[in-house]
A and B are shown apart, each in its own frame.
Chain A
Amino acid sequence: MNFELTEEQEMIRDAARDFAQRELLPGVIERDENATYPTEQVKRLGELGFLGMLVDVEYDGGGMDAVSYVLAMEEISKVDASVSVIMSVNNSLVCWGVQKYGSEAQKQEFLKPMARGDKIGAFLLSEPEAGSDATSQRTTAVDMGDHYLINGIKNWITSGGTASTYLLIAHTHPEKKHHGINAFLIDSKLDGITIGPHENKMGMRASDTHSVMFNNVKVPKENRLGEDGQGFTIAMKSLEGGRIGIASQALGIASGAYELALKYAQERKTFGKEIFKHQAIAFKLADMAVEIEAARFFCLKAAWLKDQGKPYGQASAMAKLYAAETAMKVTTEAVQIHGGNGYVKEYHVERLMREAKLTQIYEGTSEIQKIVISRGLLA
């Protein structure tokens, strides 16, 4: 056992912290309020290498480990989860799959620009009738000999409006159930693709979420990712890693709210003393600190397993479940500690609370995580 971070991991955490504090904090409230896509901030995220930090160096990535990724996601999510969700989807849902299952030509064409951050990737799995339940895909990809013909609708797509590259999951052989599912790499500018309106969300309002419609979209054969029928595996494996990203995002949202609450509790006075000196508040903060530390251990453990090449599906589901529930609880308490100020946008905690809610829902709801975990108990 060793709980020490390496010098390099600390440097990555500090770099992410500096970036978040210096470049994300100014304007985060306005971007959320006006649902303004963080164009400039995402560009910087790419320049600094965060968008492809997990990708191998030979494909223009940072070649960093998953532990560093957790640390970076936490720091960025403390300040702006709209930015960190773009980072998480690009890294762990799109780049990871292309690196793991892609052909050399696909890596050259699709992975490199995404790893550099020149292009953004989106992961198209959810459908109106199939959110966390990935087996009930209605989108079809019919094999036409020299190409696939895609038809269907994908919903709640992070970066749906801005992404250049889609990793799409669709059914080719519905009769084969999940063995008939395929994954495709798709240029978002292809004919027949229509992007639906921007979803007006409760939180993470600066990230752009859209539905994407496919109407007879022709996708070249060579754009299928992996073997015929491997799509379901690709989707599920991507989500295993994705959960580490979202768990660290939830961790960051929680620790961001906690840090604000701790500072506030030392500055704000009621009844002639700092509110931290009231036990009711101090105990809240103690509980928050304990739960955040536990969530951090979950996240780092899952990342460590991944770095060691060991199975991490169960660990990442536990991390995602615990961190998301912690984020909801901690942000709610942070608003409470702030009192009336907490309900005002200027103090950030109400935004963090709205952001926390989404971590319980996307990339597998808390309930889905419990299904994954409970099935794992018998495995």
Chain B
Amino acid sequence: MSVIAFAKNWEGKFKKSTYELVSYAKDLASRLNTQTLILSIGEVDESELNKLAQYGADKIISVDDSRLNILSSRIYAEVISQVVNKEGASYVILSDNNSGKAISPRLSVKLKAGLAAAVLDVPKSLDPFIIKKRVFSGKAFAYVQIDSEKKILTLSKNSFGIVENPAVLNIERFTPELADDIFKIKVNSVEKADDKMILADADIVVSAGRGMKAAENWQPVEDLSSVLGAATACSRPVSDDGWRGHEEHVGQTGKVIAPNLYFAIGISGAIQHVAGINRSKCIVAINTDPEAPIFSIADYGVVGDAMTVLPKLTEIIRSGE
């Protein structure tokens, strides 16, 4: 009956989204009157694991096999399913990030467990189990009923929040049974981009569109982003024209993000763009066109030319620190 959350680590560290995941798992377990189990795969220090206990983990199951430091959805799904079966857990929760998206479908088939991806809230009802998720990239929501006995959820970022709930650290080691031939994909090399903030993790995103007029006009965007410790993003026409890389494209056919603060600069606010950003907690629009549709979804708006507004804004924020 218990709830298991898979806490992914990044080179041995957890992120804020992990704490939100644990907080959510604890909340669900309380509703179900059962235990919150957290599963960590790969080598993670005890002090780091202890952080998870602060959000309500009754037990932390650690699979500290160094072969598992690099994520493989196939192997991780196998490990998670072994733990789920051993613990007799009924609910598995993962973050709705790259790894959660890759692991959860496999797990669903292994466990014959219905999957609700990108859930946004606590369950609307427990029996039957009905939960709210994003559909049409945020243009609508659906209430999904999971009919199978075991259930898998992936949790959208910033949909629950972080709730402290200190518990005593209780770590249990687990050694999964893995066939050797499962480790067979050859990774030739890994290229890291620079140290820029990763879009999906960023609390603040500074995003710009066609209104910037040309690729060489991006410096003010970079400057604002850097003073805020933000990630940069862009609208589709900008990535289609090659002014910025595809990895920066947010919108219905790009990345769907939910930062605390989103700056939409020179972005008119086409419906496809809005679908990718409308779960942002706060949206600031800067545009020369006072009629731009982006203002209808923004919280704060400035009518003006980005090339003059951005440097001033950057300076105000810099001097205020």
Please list the residues of chain A having a beta carbon within 8 angstroms of any beta carbon in chain B: 26, 267-269
A3-B23 Cα distance, complex, nearest whole Å: 58
A268-B291 Cα distance, complex, nearest whole Å: 6
User: Would you list the 5 A-B pairs with minimal beta carbon distance, nearest first?
Assistant: A267-B291, A268-B291, A267-B293, A269-B291, A26-B241
Would you give the shortest CB distance from B290 to chain A, in whole angstroms? 9
Task: Please classify the interface of chain B as helix (H, G, I), strand (E, B), loop, or mixed, using the class held by over half of its residues.
Answer: loop
Question: Could you say which residues of chain A place their CB within 8 Å of the CB of B291?
Answer: 267-269
Question: Could you say which residues of chain B place their CB within 8 Å of the CB of A269?
Answer: 291
Would you give the shortest CB distance from A367 to chain B, in whole angstroms? 41
A269-B290 Cα distance, complex, nearest whole Å: 10
A269-B295 Cα distance, complex, nearest whole Å: 13
Would you give the shortest CB distance from B238 to chain A, in whole angstroms? 12
A267-B296 Cα distance, complex, nearest whole Å: 10
Please list the residues of chain B having a beta carbon within 8 angstroms of any beta carbon in chain A: 241, 291, 293
A343-B260 Cα distance, complex, nearest whole Å: 40
A74-B291 Cα distance, complex, nearest whole Å: 29
A267-B289 Cα distance, complex, nearest whole Å: 11
Smallest CB gap from B240: residue in A? A22
A16-B85 Cα distance, complex, nearest whole Å: 55
Smallest CB gap from A267: residue in B? B291
A273-B241 Cα distance, complex, nearest whole Å: 35
Smallest CB gap from B241: residue in A? A26
A302-B241 Cα distance, complex, nearest whole Å: 40
Question: Could you say which residues of chain B place their CB within 8 Å of the CB of A268?
Answer: 291
Smallest CB gap from A268: residue in B? B291
Question: Could you say which residues of chain A place their CB within 8 Å of the CB of B241?
Answer: 26
Smallest CB gap from A266: residue in B? B293
Question: Could you say which residues of chain B place their CB within 8 Å of the CB of A26?
Answer: 241
A268-B296 Cα distance, complex, nearest whole Å: 12
Would you give the shortest CB distance from B194 to chain A, in whole angstroms? 30
Smallest CB gap from A274: residue in B? B291
Smallest CB gap from A22: residue in B? B240
A to B CB contacts below 8 Å, 5 in the list: A26-B241, A267-B291, A267-B293, A268-B291, A269-B291
A26-B291 Cα distance, complex, nearest whole Å: 21
A268-B292 Cα distance, complex, nearest whole Å: 9
Would you give the shortest CB distance from B50 to chain A, in whole angstroms? 53
Would you give the shortest CB distance from A213 to chain B, in whole angstroms? 42
A267-B271 Cα distance, complex, nearest whole Å: 13
Would you give the shortest CB distance from A301 to chain B, in whole angstroms? 35
A146-B271 Cα distance, complex, nearest whole Å: 66
Smallest CB gap from A263: residue in B? B293
A19-B236 Cα distance, complex, nearest whole Å: 17
A263-B291 Cα distance, complex, nearest whole Å: 12
Interface centre among A26, A267, A268, A269 (most CB of B within 10 A): A267
A26-B241 Cα distance, complex, nearest whole Å: 10
Would you give the shortest CB distance from A263 to chain B, in whole angstroms? 10
A267-B241 Cα distance, complex, nearest whole Å: 26
Would you give the shortest CB distance from A274 to chain B, in whole angstroms? 10
Smallest CB gap from A341: residue in B? B291
A269-B292 Cα distance, complex, nearest whole Å: 11
A171-B291 Cα distance, complex, nearest whole Å: 59
